[in-house]
Every structure is written in structure tokens, then in C-alpha cells.
Chains A and B, each alone.
Chain A
Amino acid sequence: MRTRFARLLIIASALGISAWAQEPAAAGANAPARRGGGPAAPSGPVPRLANGKPDLNGLLNGGPSSQDIGLNLMTGEQIVLTPSAEKLMKERRPKDDPEANCLPAGVPRMAPYPWRIVQQSTHIFILFEANIHSYRQILIDGRQHTPEANRWPSWYGDSIGSWDGDTLVVDTVGFNDRFWFDAKGHPHTDQLHTIERYTRKDLGTLVVETTIIDPGAYVKPFKISYSARYAPKDELMEYICAENNQDVTHISTPTGLR
């Protein structure tokens, strides 16, 4: 049922784009290059850098559901909350969602806006258009995690990356416990450890599989996945969430109403 609904969302979104695109007079002459996040993802083989590694650079659309991370569970995976995490999730209210309050989405949550991978030989940056207009930094120069004494709990954690064949593996620890995995309020603790596997399947597609490990909130680790599409003709736009966020002052209903 969830899968069906997710498919419907994809179809609806795609139709919405094409329908509006049929109104050139309303669209104006200047917009087409950016319309709907650009044209369909390009097709072709995986591009590579001079060192032979896959070139992950580019602007992408797609991420895990910001509403319910359960929609992205991989086959056979289950989310099993500890009793304390279950209690916390039930107590959470939509108005308190940090994402709705313009705070960072953390990992693995992403707002439904484009993001860009900037790949260097020593660092990879993920630039988020929204929410918030921020970035993640992943060290890929062989360094290990920053010692615990030298870091403090943070929204995006401490990320190091390495290559497993053609897959970039990003290992992140050092998170704070403040962000929610989704609008449903799936919680985590500062014991959270994520392992993300980024694989560019072809010119247009990036598949990301993430293992969530947090014995403080989940009885066992679980894996989610999503597919993102490259949009080479689109560019990031400014998104300053806090400039006019009126919503939370009008949200007061219980967490069950979503």
C-alpha cells in the first residue's frame, strides 16, 4: 500500500510538471531551463574521473521520504524502536519538528529540494538547497574520525569516506539527538552511526543505501535506500527557510494528525 502511494506520488509529481509546462504563456520565456528541475535524467555510462573513480559531481533530485522514513525501507528490513524511543515518538508534535522550524534535517533526512555533490580528491561536499541552505563535509583523504574528545554532537556528524570498488562508503558518527528522521518523528540518540553507500548506476542515476545503527533508539540496525536522479541543466537556488516561516505558529494539533 505504501509502495503504491509512493508510486502515485511520483506519477503525480511528474504529471504536474508536464501539465504546467503545457502553458507556455504562463510559464514565460525565461523559465524553461529550470522547469521541473530540468529535463529527464540523462542516459549513458557512469562518468569517471582521471583516477578512474566514478564522477559523482552534479545536481540531484531525490532523497528518502521526509514524511516517513519507513517508505524507504529495503526489502526484509524492519524498524523496531526501543520502548523509550517509542514513547518519545508518540510524544512528538508536528510543530516541534526541527525541519519545520528551519533547523537542519540531519542524516539521512533530506528536504524535497535539489542537492549537489561536489567531489574533490580530498573532500566531498553535499550542498543542500534546502532545508537548510547548508552542506555536509565528507573527508576522503584517508583520515579517520575526529577523536570524540575533539568534537561535539552535531547535526551532520563527523563523516569519512572511502571507496569500495565503485561505491563511495560514507561512515558518520558524532551526531546530536535533535533532528528527526522524518515528519512522523522517528527519533535517534547520540549513539547514531550511519553507513551510506553511494553508487552511480549510470549517467542519470545515483542509488544510496543507508544503514542506520543506533542501539539507543532501535533494537536492531535497519537499511533504507533511495534513488536520486541527476539534473545537469538545473542549478541550486537560494532557500533561506527562516526568512518567512509562519507555519509553526499555526500548527497545534497532535502528532497523529499528519
Chain B
Amino acid sequence: MRLTMRTKVGVVTAGFELVLLALPALAHHSFAAEYDSNKKVNVTGTVKKVEWTNPHSRMYLEVKDAKGTVTLWNFEFGSPNHLFRAGWTRNTVKEGDQITVEGFPAKDGSHLAQTRQVTLADGRKVPGFAGGADSGGAPTQ
């Protein structure tokens, strides 16, 4: 059973890595002008607020460092249209959840990042920019 679970996660991760290649070029706006793909943010915190809005969903995370200082991070996700078509629901991430988010930070130094992957409260890992119709012109399923 455990092996099966691991295999599933592996498949999800492999698929997601491929999607990542596409995402920077496919977002609503220019990715490279806003985010730095050479840097990475990986933080764990408490979801303060979820915005199911366009052009992007956003999740605000309170992150506490070793000294106890709390920073509010703004993580940009795919639009709710993309996320829900890819299987997200309003219950996938809720306010108060403890989640880990990995993403590319904004070039302007603000506490903003475009999400790569989320580790949900129950340990599952899901992409923050799920494929769906975000094909950049290519026909999709």
C-alpha cells in the first residue's frame, strides 16, 4: 500500500516537472519580467487568506522564522479556472491550514512568489499551476 502511494506521488511529481517547463511562458503575464527562475522559495506556514480570484488565485502564508518573526508571503497560483478544471476544490487549501509552498520569488524583492508546488496539510503534493486550458495556444484535452 505504501509503495503504491509512493508511486502515485512519483507520477504526479514527474508530470508536474514537465508542466513547469511550460508554465513560465504560459502565464497571463510575462513570467521572466516578474519572477526569478534561478532562485527558489520554500517555506512552511499557516494559510492566512485564500483568494479565488483572477487572473490568479492567491494564498497568503504567515511564515515564522527561527527568531519568531512572522512574515506574510503572497503566493501566486494558477487562476481558479485552471485549478478547478485540474481538480482543485475550495477544500484543497483552507485558511488555517499548515502548508509548505515552493516557488519562484519576485525579482523586485517583495515577499511574493509564483508557486511551483504545494505540500498540503495531509502531506499530498500538488502543483500550484495546474495545466488545464493553459496551453498557450496548443490544443488541449
Contact = CB atoms under 8 A, between A and B. Distances in A.
Given A97-B29, A100-B29, A258-B30, A64 B137 contact: yes
B99 interface: no
B139 A61 contact: yes
Nearest to A35: B87
Interface in A20-56: 20-23, 25-28, 30-32, 34-41
Given A11-B18, A114-B133, A67 B29 contact: no
A252 B124 contact: no
Interface size on B, as a range, is 35 or more
A124 to B, nearest CB: 21
Interface size on A, as a range, is 35 or more
Contacts of A35: 85-87, 132
Interface string B76-99: 100111001111110110000000
A212 to B, nearest CB: 15
Contacts of A248: 29
Contacts of B53: 240, 243-244
B62 to A, nearest CB: 19
Contacts of A63: 137
A12 B136 contact: no
A102 interface: yes
Given A39-B141, A100-B30, A244-B54, A19 B136 contact: no
A26 B120 contact: yes
A213 interface: no
Interface in B44-61: 51, 53-56, 58
A234 interface: yes
Interface of A: 6, 8-23, 25-28, 30-32, 34-41, 61-67, 71-72, 93-95, 97, 99-100, 102, 110-114, 129-131, 183, 205, 226-229, 231, 234, 237-241, 243-248, 250-253, 257-258
